[in-house]
Amino acid sequence: MAHADLSAEMDARFELRDLLGLRGSAAWLFLLILEAVITLYMLRNFGESPLWAALAGLGLMLSAGAVVTAVPVDPLPVPVALYAAAAPALATALTVMTPVADTANQTLWSAFASSYVLAVLVLRGRIRTAWVGVIAVAAVLVVLGIGGGHLQPATVIGSMVPVGTVTAISVFTAVMRPLQRSLRILREDGMMRAAAEATMAAADGERSRQLARLDRVARSILERIADGAELSAAEREECRLLEAELRDGLRAPQLVTDELSGAARGARGRGVEVVLLDDGGFAGVPEWIRKRVIDAATKELDAANAGSVTVRVLPLGRPVLATVVAPAHDRRTEIDTDGRVTVID
């Protein structure tokens, strides 16, 4: 199940435009070029169509080219895809629906501009919608040609321009799909391998850190035990304190600092039962808030002479980040995720 979820996530991330490099600055350059090409074709309609129709057609085509390229979601959302498919047909209708001296040129230029928008729509994962747009453009050209009584060969050719372009891009997409799938699998394997290596490196680093800490705080007493020496009462007390300190490092690694460890050792030496617990709430917390928790815990431990003190970092997602509880003094200190300290007596 986890592998299937990861595959689905990778499918969503690694689309055809990733393979073509159409992200980031390259995507914006592609958009600029597409808009320039559309403009060059649609400018040919000025002078051959009414000015308002030519401007409206140009605006429709440019907006369709912008949304079909700039929207970051693959496949494109349905409303965006439908607009990108409908805009070329509307723009084509606007530029050829009025009587003019030479309809052939208008037909061809509008169809050429439409073919580029619909081709990009195919690349963005909306092949069926793109073909609906192709049919709509062809229908507009043929219907207006018949209605105007001038269904010329150029009109038929113009209606076929988007068909040829979108067919070529559709075939290209189908050919590239196995390569896209192979590259997705390679990327997935690489990410899983990198995650495994990172986990191993983190485990090795933590193991080395714990061994270094053990060597620093317990080496001398462990050597005496290994030599078979009889330990004095003071040394046995030292072993008890060391054992508790090492346990703190396992239970609450984010709470272990020289300041807090010293305060915990002093409190235990005075007979206080000290419990440090870390349930992961420090993840993503600023260092100054973590320092405030440690300061509050250190202050409570320094003041304790009997009873128990429990310092706990709560799980993620709770409004209270950590608590310091001293039942002997009927005192509870809470530190929230904003760093506010509340003492409840």
42 lies in the same domain as 173: yes
How does pLDDT run across 310-328, given as a tens digit for each residue? Answer: 999 999 888 899 999 998 8
Pair 293, 257: CB distance under 8 Å: no
Choose one of 191, 213, 233: the last residue of a domain.
191
235 by Cβ neighbours in 10 Å (0-12 / 13-18 / 19+) ranks as: middle
The answer to whether position 28 is within a domain reads yes
The end-to-end CA distance of the chain, in Å, is 49
The total number of structural domains that make up the chain: 2
The reply to whether 255 and 122 lie within a common domain is no
- Classified as helix, coil or strand, 76 is coil
Type of residue numbered 28 = W
pLDDT confidence tier of residue 285, bands split at 50, 70 and 90: confident
Residue 17 lies in a domain: yes
Q: Are residues 150 and 260 in the same domain?
A: no
Classify residue 212: in a domain, yes or no.
no
Expressed in percent and rounded to 5, the helix, strand and coil fractions of the chain are: 70, 10, 20
340 domain-assigned: yes
- Angle among Cα 195, 201, 202 to the nearest 5 degrees reads 90
Has residue 32 been placed in a domain? yes
Inter-residue contact 89 to 135 (CB < 8 Å)? no
Residue 280: in which H helix or E strand, if any? Answer: none
**Helices 103-123 and 78-96, interaxial angle, to 10°?**
170
Has residue 241 been placed in a domain?
A: no
DSSP element (H, E) containing 342: strand 341-344
**What was the pLDDT predicted at 249?**
79
- 109 and 45 Cβ atoms separated by less than 8 Å: yes
Do residues 186 and 312 both lie within one domain? no
Q: Are residues 68 and 175 in the same domain?
A: yes
Domain, as residue range, for 297: 251-344
pTM, whole model, 2 decimals?
A: 0.50
Among the three residues 191, 207, 233, which one is the final residue of a domain in this structure? Answer: 191
148-192 residue pLDDT tens: 555 556 566 666 778 888 888 888 777 777 766 776 777 778 888
Considering the domain architecture, whether residues 164 and 263 belong to the same structural domain is answered as: no
Question: What average pLDDT score do residues 248-267 get?
Answer: 85
Q: Which of 159, 191, 223 is the last residue of a domain?
A: 191
Same domain, 182 and 322: no
